[in-house]
Amino acid sequence: MFRISLAPVDYLILSTYLCFVVGIGFALKRYMRTSTDFFLSGRSIPAWITGLAFLSANLGAQEVMGMAASGAKYGIATSHFYWVGAVPAMVFVGVFMMPFYYGSRARSVPEYLKLRFDEKTRGFNAITFAAMTVFSSGISLYAMGILLTALLGWDFSASIWLSAFIVLCYIFLGGLTSAIYNEVLQFFLIVAGFLPLVFLGLKDVGGWDELVVRLQSVSVSRGFAPGAFTSAWRHLGNTADNPLGVEWFSMVMGLGFVLSFGYWCTDFLVVQRAMAAKSMAAARRTPLIAAFPKMLFPFLVILPGMIAIALTGSQASNGFHLPPKPDGSLNYDMTIPLMLGHYFPPGMLGLGLTALLASFMSGMAGNVTAFNTVWTYDIYQSYIRRNASDAHYLWMGRMATIFGIAASVLAAYLATRFNNIMDFLQLVFAFVNAPLFATFLLGMFSKRTTGHGAFTGLLCGTLAAALHHGLTLPKGSISGIKGGWLTVLHTYPSEMAQNFWTATWAWVACFLITIAVSRLSAPKPHGELKGLVYSLTPKPEAENIPWFERPGPLGVVILGLVAILNIIFW
């Protein structure tokens, strides 16, 4: 087992950070007087803070370690999760969807569904979303568990329980505000900790040109087209030519449309940050502010994975290599911990590990704050105890933090079955966010969509995801949590290819069935849909501010920049 030796200065940096994040919770505890303070930060946070929190809530350990692992496993094609699978949807949610969320004054995404459709639609989404946040939080715990095992040689179980306890402390005390300010801190720690790693790795491998040459050898040795690891689009014509095992349609439809818009537009984990903004204008700018650094993050988190796979097995690797798992596959999830230990001296190693620890804290805290809000408002208040005092709901939010983290610990053990945690995370999104996006799309832009249609579509979309997953299996996998638990009718080249098609089938099933059932049931009167449907909602007036602060022009600039990045790495 590889171990990273920490010097006293590294332990000092780590312990200082841990004391600081818990101290933020204690400092904010006195401001948590109401449930709105605890769950929505009193809707008082400036746009630049919510923008960085909007980005950092998604920048948890599962993304930092998972995207590096995907960079090693799939190459530059992993950038599609940013330039196709994130930025366009972030623009859409800022320009079109935040007026609905913020304007309706809904406290959560499921509550918006109740206002637009009915109670049963809200209830179904609340339950599935709560389950998703538990799984996502469990993935963060798993990432932290393997990290501490590599660092200190601790037992995996002890590591995840200790990590969970630290997160519990500062969320229990400071609620969403504590999570948001820690997420802003985490953003700067990630940049400071990972930028030197990229420079040192590139220097070791011989620069970008030498990295391209080495990755061509990796591509050919694995049976892919030369350049498949360094070209984002060129080899998507045939699934056998690229390591993702997808063609352009499943990439654009499965990731770029269904999974991307399904996550960024409907996932309360990120929407909650924008809803904490101090005004409608600030809420709309929140995802747009986040989009600028988001499009640059592939160079910070994917590039280390590409360097790692280029060095693994190379004669000039200076001893660096990714270790195998018991089944013989490479342990891609160890990419970042091993590179930190390989390249960073004492002090720098402590900073890099603190950045990883911060990403874990942020990712898990984001899921926990979303879980305790949805549990308290959309499940407990709606179905268990309707007319309790605000103080009681504040207490329940803190209790939900405790049992949400306990459930996340159990989910962490499921993540051990995947050699790339991003594969597991996208599978969870395919079941929950993919059909939900079809529901939102029809609900926000069609007055004719009904509550019966939305509920039936959501249910059938989720079942379609389960059916597709149960009938398919990634290549080289055994039937079980990775699929094929009904029978195997089709084998995909990779887990990610299976995820994209699972999401696509879920979205299509939900979209078509929602339309069909809506045609057979009566819609709500138009008067009840004002502020909830695009055509019946007053459009935000043009603000007397510079063009670069207005959502529309700002979104056009962002889309232009991300198009240029796609062309450069075509």
Alpha-carbon gap, residue 492 to 247, rounded angstroms: 12
CA dihedral (233, 497, 84, 210) positive or negative: negative
Record the tokens describing residue 72, joined without a space.
Answer: 């090693």
Whether 223 is covered by a domain: the verdict is yes
Q: How far is CA 55 from the centre of its chain?
A: 9
Whether 183 is covered by a domain: the verdict is yes
Whether 107 is covered by a domain: the verdict is yes
Radius of gyration (Cα) for the chain, nearest Å?
23
Record the tokens describing residue 177, joined without a space.
Answer: 């505000």
- Exposure string of 145-166, with b = 16+ CB inside 10 Å and e = fewer, is bbbbbbbeeeeeeebbbebbeb
Whether 317 is covered by a domain: the verdict is yes
Using alpha carbons, select from 251, 268, 500 the residue that is nearest to residue 370: 268
Whether 2 is covered by a domain: the verdict is no
Alpha-carbon gap, residue 319 to 311, rounded angstroms: 9
Q: Which residues of the chain have pLDDT under 50?
A: 1, 317
Residue 132 has a pLDDT of 82
Residue 471 has a pLDDT of 94
Residue 315 has a pLDDT of 52
With vertex at residue 512, the alpha carbon angle to CA 507 and CA 514, rounded to the nearest 5 degrees, is 95
- pLDDT tens-place string over residues 142-197: 877 777 776 667 788 888 888 788 888 878 877 777 777 777 888 888 888 888 98
Whether 290 is covered by a domain: the verdict is yes
Residue 459 has a pLDDT of 94
Q: How far is CA 88 from the centre of its chain?
A: 15
Whether 342 is covered by a domain: the verdict is yes
Contact between 431 and 506 under an 8 Å Cβ cutoff? The reply is yes
Residue 540 has a pLDDT of 62
CA count, 13 A, side-chain hemisphere, 312? 23
* Domain encompassing residue 316: 8-23+40-568
Residue 2 has a pLDDT of 55
Say whether pTM exceeds 0.85.
no
Residue 56 has a pLDDT of 75
Alpha-carbon gap, residue 157 to 152, rounded angstroms: 13
Whether 31 is covered by a domain: the verdict is no
Contact partners, residue 512, CB within 8 Å, separation at least 6: 457
Residue 91 has a pLDDT of 92
Q: How many domains in the chain? A: 1
Alpha-carbon gap, residue 108 to 114, rounded angstroms: 10
Residue 369 has a pLDDT of 83
CA dihedral (99, 100, 104, 110) positive or negative: negative
- pLDDT tens-place string over residues 509-524: 999 999 999 999 999 9
CATH code for the domain of 244: 1.20.1730.10
